[in-house]
Amino acid sequence: MNAHSLDLATAAQPATAHTEWWRGAVLYQIYPRSFADANNDGVGDLKGITDHLDHVASLGVDGIWLSPFFTSPMKDFG
Protein backbone atom coordinates (compact mmCIF):
# COMPACT_ATOMS: atom_id res chain seq x y z
CA MET A 1 0.00 0.00 0.00
CA ASN A 2 1.50 3.34 -0.97
CA ALA A 3 1.03 6.67 0.86
CA HIS A 4 -1.63 7.85 -1.59
CA SER A 5 -3.87 4.80 -1.11
CA LEU A 6 -3.46 5.12 2.67
CA ASP A 7 -4.73 8.71 2.52
CA LEU A 8 -7.75 7.63 0.47
CA ALA A 9 -8.49 4.81 2.89
CA THR A 10 -8.32 7.19 5.84
CA ALA A 11 -10.53 9.75 4.11
CA ALA A 12 -13.14 7.09 3.34
CA GLN A 13 -13.55 6.18 7.02
CA PRO A 14 -16.56 7.69 8.75
CA ALA A 15 -15.86 10.54 11.14
CA THR A 16 -15.94 9.63 14.79
CA ALA A 17 -17.98 11.38 17.46
CA HIS A 18 -14.75 12.95 18.69
CA THR A 19 -14.04 14.71 15.40
CA GLU A 20 -17.63 15.98 15.15
CA TRP A 21 -18.15 17.01 18.78
CA TRP A 22 -19.97 20.14 17.64
CA ARG A 23 -22.92 18.18 16.21
CA GLY A 24 -24.36 17.50 19.65
CA ALA A 25 -22.64 20.31 21.54
CA VAL A 26 -24.36 22.83 23.78
CA LEU A 27 -22.98 26.32 23.28
CA TYR A 28 -23.52 29.25 25.63
CA GLN A 29 -23.66 32.62 23.89
CA ILE A 30 -22.18 35.57 25.74
CA TYR A 31 -23.03 39.13 24.77
CA PRO A 32 -20.06 41.00 26.29
CA ARG A 33 -21.81 44.34 26.78
CA SER A 34 -24.36 42.94 29.21
CA PHE A 35 -22.79 39.76 30.59
CA ALA A 36 -20.57 41.08 33.40
CA ASP A 37 -18.96 44.41 34.28
CA ALA A 38 -15.65 44.03 36.10
CA ASN A 39 -14.73 47.72 36.38
CA ASN A 40 -18.19 49.03 37.38
CA ASP A 41 -18.57 51.47 34.50
CA GLY A 42 -21.96 50.03 33.55
CA VAL A 43 -20.73 48.17 30.46
CA GLY A 44 -19.74 44.51 30.35
CA ASP A 45 -16.13 43.74 29.52
CA LEU A 46 -13.75 40.86 28.82
CA LYS A 47 -12.48 40.80 32.41
CA GLY A 48 -16.08 40.40 33.54
CA ILE A 49 -16.45 37.42 31.22
CA THR A 50 -13.23 35.74 32.34
CA ASP A 51 -14.15 36.34 36.00
CA HIS A 52 -17.33 34.27 35.47
CA LEU A 53 -16.07 31.41 33.28
CA ASP A 54 -16.19 29.00 36.22
CA HIS A 55 -19.93 29.60 36.47
CA VAL A 56 -20.42 29.07 32.74
CA ALA A 57 -18.40 25.84 32.92
CA SER A 58 -20.53 24.65 35.84
CA LEU A 59 -23.57 24.75 33.55
CA GLY A 60 -22.08 21.81 31.64
CA VAL A 61 -21.81 23.57 28.30
CA ASP A 62 -19.37 22.33 25.68
CA GLY A 63 -18.25 25.74 24.49
CA ILE A 64 -19.00 29.43 24.41
CA TRP A 65 -19.94 31.71 21.55
CA LEU A 66 -18.69 35.21 22.18
CA SER A 67 -20.88 37.67 20.30
CA PRO A 68 -18.85 39.91 18.02
CA PHE A 69 -17.69 43.20 19.52
CA PHE A 70 -15.74 46.10 18.17
CA THR A 71 -15.35 49.84 18.63
CA SER A 72 -18.47 51.71 17.58
CA PRO A 73 -19.51 55.37 17.43
CA MET A 74 -22.62 54.23 19.38
CA LYS A 75 -24.99 55.79 16.82
CA ASP A 76 -26.87 52.50 16.81
CA PHE A 77 -25.88 51.63 20.42
CA GLY A 78 -23.39 49.04 19.38
pLDDT in tens, 21-66: 889 999 999 999 999 999 999 999 999 999 999 999 999 999 999 9
- pTM comes to 0.64
Closest listed residue to residue 70, CA positions, set 33, 15, 29, 34: 33
Q: State the sign of the Cα–Cα–Cα–Cα dihedral 55, 61, 64, 65.
A: negative
The confidence band for 15, taking pLDDT boundaries of 50, 70 and 90, is: low
Looking at per-residue pLDDT, the higher value among 13 and 37 belongs to 37
Whole-angstrom distance, CA of residue 65 vs CA of residue 27: 6
